[in-house]
């Protein structure tokens, strides 16, 4: 009887252990399945978000019904014999909320053709939304100079100027966010493309070097935002035209470079404040430009030191601040 009781006890214990092992196995299997489901869901969401990113610049997003004429911004677009890119850019930005007018800086030897003007007017009327009337103007220049980019516009209604190249496209929601950031600091430059000025001492004097994007990425600091994609107040067009030292404008014309650095110097000299870098996805639809030419960084280093001497100081202020739209980020 004792042996039978012992056997029954052992059998019951083995059965309990077997049930416990099965339960642990079931729980482990459930955890694995749950983890797999989470991984699959995360992958699907990531693919969907990447897919929307690839096409988001063609979608202007929700309309901003609070915008009204005179309260929005003007696009100042530099262009040069790239009509397909120009048409593509105008077609996109015409959809963006808050846009009042588009001014094309035209420095080609021949005036814009009637067919080009008719096409651009048509595409603006077609793509403008919410009953907005976006004005298109060609600012025609007789001299081919990069200084034309910042020539004063007498009849400009909007205070905010969005300076952009014809081969660069940002999603409308990114432009709207940058515009909102600019409205919080209208005296400063607000842009998407930061650059850094590196400083070293040589024989007791500061020597400045133009440092590109990788230096910004590595250090997290920058000193200016390039005018090929930035907001600034229209008053700086007047100051550039009338107050910028003639020697600097002549240097820009002769070397076909550094007009953006000159504008950054001007704004920083007025404000004694750094620019504001805004995070945004950039789509470069062109393949050529001044920055692709050999010796570009060396030429811009020369500009920095020459302009600093002209201004009597280095006005550019380094900063590490970056404006990010937290509504469009998972982690911030």
pLDDT digits (tens, 9 = 90+) for 134-168: 999 999 999 999 999 999 999 899 999 999 999 99
* pLDDT band, very low/low/confident/very high, at 18 (cuts 50, 70, 90): low
Q: What's the predicted TM-score (pTM) here? A: 0.79
Output the pLDDT for position 203. 81
For the chain, percent of residues with pLDDT exceeding 90:
66
* pLDDT band, very low/low/confident/very high, at 59 (cuts 50, 70, 90): very low
Q: Is 83 in a helix, a strand, or coil? A: helix
Give the span between the Cα atoms of 104 and 139, in whole angstroms.
6
Domains (range + CATH), the chain: 68-328 (3.90.550.10)
Pick the catalytic residue from 166, 260, 272, 325: 260
Q: Is 260 a catalytic residue?
A: yes
Range with the lowest mean pLDDT among 61-70, 187-196, 245-254, 297-306? 61-70
pLDDT digits (tens, 9 = 90+) for 280-311: 999 999 865 555 555 778 999 999 999 999 99
């Amino acid at each position: 009887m004792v042996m039978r009781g012992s056997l029954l006890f052992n059998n019951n214990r083995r059965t309990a252990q077997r049930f416990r092992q099965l339960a642990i196995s079931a729980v482990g299997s459930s955890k694995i399945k749950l983890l797999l489901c989470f991984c699959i869901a995360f992958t699907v969401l990531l693919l969907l978000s990447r897919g929307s990113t690839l096409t988001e610049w063609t979608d202007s997003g929700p309309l901003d019904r609070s915008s009204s004429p005179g309260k929005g911004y003007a696009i100042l677009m530099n262009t040069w014999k790239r009509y397909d890119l120009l048409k593509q850019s105008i077609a996109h930005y015409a959809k963006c909320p808050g846009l009042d007018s588009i001014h094309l800086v035209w420095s080609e030897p021949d005036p814009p053709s009637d067919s080009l003007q008719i096409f651009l007017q048509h595409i603006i009327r077609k793509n403008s939304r919410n009953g907005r009337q976006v004005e298109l103007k060609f600012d025609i220049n007789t001299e081919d100079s990069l200084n034309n980019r910042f020539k004063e516009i007498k009849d400009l209604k909007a205070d905010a100027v969005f300076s952009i190249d014809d081969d660069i496209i940002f999603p409308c929601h990114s432009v709207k966010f940058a515009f909102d950031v600019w409205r919080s600091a209208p005296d400063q430059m607000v842009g998407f493309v930061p650059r850094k000025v590196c400083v070293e001492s040589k024989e007791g004097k500061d020597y400045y070097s133009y440092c590109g994007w990788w230096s910004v990425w590595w250090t997290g600091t920058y000193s200016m935002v390039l005018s090929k994609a930035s907001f600034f107040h229209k008053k700086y067009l007047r100051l550039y035209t009338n107050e910028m030292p003639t020697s600097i404008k002549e240097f820009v014309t002769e070397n076909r470079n550094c007009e953006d650095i000159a504008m950054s110097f001007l704004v920083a000299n007025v404000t004694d404040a750094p620019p504001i870098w805004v995070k945004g996805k950039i789509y470069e639809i062109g393949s050529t430009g001044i920055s692709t030419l050999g010796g570009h960084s060396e030429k811009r280093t020369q500009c920095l030191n020459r302009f600093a001497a002209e201004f009597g100081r280095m006005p550019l202020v380094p900063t590490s601040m970056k404006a990010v739209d937290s509504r469009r980020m998972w982690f911030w």
